[in-house]
A and B are shown apart, each in its own frame.
Chain A
Amino acid sequence: MALTQDKNIKEKIDSLTGLPDGYTPSMESKWELLQTGNTRPAKRQYLYYAAVLLLLLIPAWLMMNKKNENISSVRKNIPATNKIAATDKINIGKTSVTEEAAKRNIKANHYYSQNTPSIQNLKTNAVVEAPKKEIVPMTETEISRNIIIADSIPHPMIVNVEHSKKHKKRYVEMDFDDGEVHTDKRNDMVQNPVFKFNISFGMASKNAGNEPSIFQIKKTF
């Protein structure tokens, strides 16, 4: 009996061809929706791809970060000082400030400001240590004032330079065109000169009468 009943119900349900009362969907809009695939699973699929992309980007970002860390660690190893090229040689006249010297000084200052210490270090191996402070380009009047102050210093300034890679000491020569560079020892010698006289006597040769006698003086400074 149940089988007959079920068969009847099945036939009746399958015979339903129309939509339920009150339900009138727009076939065009439904078709468009199907065409664009704008259904819930599609959205989820989009989210899935986004998640996969994110998972791929994270390791890439980490790798990039690691590379940057390596570069920064190299930078950290270098002493944090303002550096300039050791090859720069600044010549400034002692008594009078020449235009050439002033220009060179401006160029040198410009060079400091243009190149940050880290970048500069990457560009050149030869570096000069300078005090840790921000370097601001000087005007010409400032340069001349500085030079006058420098003139008042009795001895020329010698800046000790440490080579970052080769560990060789280099110097920036501050030549004030004042002749020789005197060290303390030399100054002592100038102030208290010591003369040594060495007189030697020798046997007169056969031709001594014809040759003049030699009187040798050896001086040692």
Chain B
Amino acid sequence: MIKINPDIIKKCKKGDTSAQKHVFEKLYTPMYRVCMRYLGIQADAEDCLMRGMMKAFQKLDGFDYKGELSFYSWLRTIMVNESLMEIRKKNYLMLVPEEYAHNTSDSADIISTLAAEEIFDMILELPLGYRTVFNLYVIEGFAHAEIAEKLQITESTSRTQLAKARAVLQRMVLKTQLHYGTDAR
């Protein structure tokens, strides 16, 4: 979470280029991470980020400052929406039918034992459908109903995708730990 000074936002609204550049440079990395987490391809993530930034600066007048973290959250929402638009546009989302979904045990909290960068890389390795639902549910904190609406799928499909994503991630962790000669708990 990156805090942005209200004065800088005011300057940005007035069209101050240096203030806008400051915001751009400060938020480029976290926003790139957001786009990359959804799209998984560097070029697509860059394009998405640029579009999101342009949109943000164009619609800055409509932004209401409600705290130091509000601009970050607002911009992040724009980036998530842009990423979802990109996914929908390119028909990336190939969701797995429900009958193939398996329930995984939540007891095995092995994913959280990994380092942040490792988790990030593992999320990128997930199939797009799993990854999108996992990102929206776990990282962004949306409910299944909201995810279903955003992705135009049913709630049960969203749940299934999430369960499958967790299962795949657990398998990945186990595989990694076995690779390093350690036992997964």
Contacts and interface: CB of A to CB of B under 8 A. Distances in A.
A34 B54 contact: yes
Given A9-B139, A25-B46, A34 B112 contact: no
Nearest to A14: B1
Nearest to B29: A19
B42 A39 contact: no
Contact of A10 (B115, B138, B166): B138
B130 to A, nearest CB: 14
Contact of B24 (A18, A34, A39): A34
B106 A19 contact: no
A188 to B, nearest CB: 100
A146 to B, nearest CB: 81
If over half of B's interface residues share one DSSP class (helix, strand or loop), that class is named, otherwise mixed; here it is: helix
B99 interface: no
A158 interface: no
Nearest to B166: A2
Contacts, number: 84
B106 A39 contact: no
Contact of B119 (A2, A13, A18, A31): A13
Contacts of B166: 2
A1 interface: yes
B47 A39 contact: yes
Interface string B103-145: 0001101011011110110010000000000000111010000
Contacts of B141: 10
Interface in A109-155: none
A15 interface: yes
B14 interface: no
B51 interface: yes
Interface residues of A, number: 29
B25 A16 contact: no
A31 B114 CA distance: 35
B51 A41 contact: yes
Interface in B36-65: 36-37, 42, 46-47, 50-51, 53-54, 57
Most A-side CB within 10 Å, residue of B42, B116, B137: B116
A43 to B, nearest CB: 12
Contact of A1 (B28, B42, B54, B109): B109
Contacts of A165: none
B46 to A, nearest CB: 7
B150 interface: no
Contacts of B54: 34, 37, 39, 41
Contacts of A15: 116
Contacts of B1: 14
A5 interface: yes
A17 B34 CA distance: 11
A211 interface: no
Interface string A1-29: 11011101110111111111001010100
A30 interface: yes
B61 to A, nearest CB: 18
A124 B24 CA distance: 73
B109 A16 contact: no
A185 interface: no
Contacts of A30: 24, 28, 50
8 contacts: A4-B112, A6-B138, A20-B33, A20-B36, A25-B28, A34-B24, A39-B51, A41-B54
